[in-house]
Amino acid sequence: MFWIKRFIRFHGRRHPETMGTAEVEAYLPHLVLQANVSVRTQRKLLGHSDIRTTEIYTHVVRKGGFGVRSPVDEAF
């Protein structure tokens, strides 16, 4: 029940019925980067089947814009 309250507060106390996939996807990085939930919880929330995938994801996400470079960026 506590996670529901955190989710609603994160989105400015909007009612869950007014939110959809975009809001859930916006909330997941918050859990990974700021809420310090366990890597196993992150794996479940992100829908990863292998914990190694979650570890790679969290490593890249924590680097911000410096984690992964787009091939488009290389052209400039």
Q: Tell me the pLDDT tens digit for each residue of 42-65.
A: 778 778 888 888 777 776 766 655
3-state SS record for 9-38: HHCCCCCHHHCCHHHHHHHHHHHHHCCCCC
| pTM for the predicted model, two decimal places | 0.47
Instruction: Give Rg (Cα) of the chain.
Output: 15
Q: Tell me the pLDDT tens digit for each residue of 22-46.
A: 888 788 777 766 767 777 877 787 7
Rounded-to-integer distance, Cα 8 and Cα 10, Å: 5
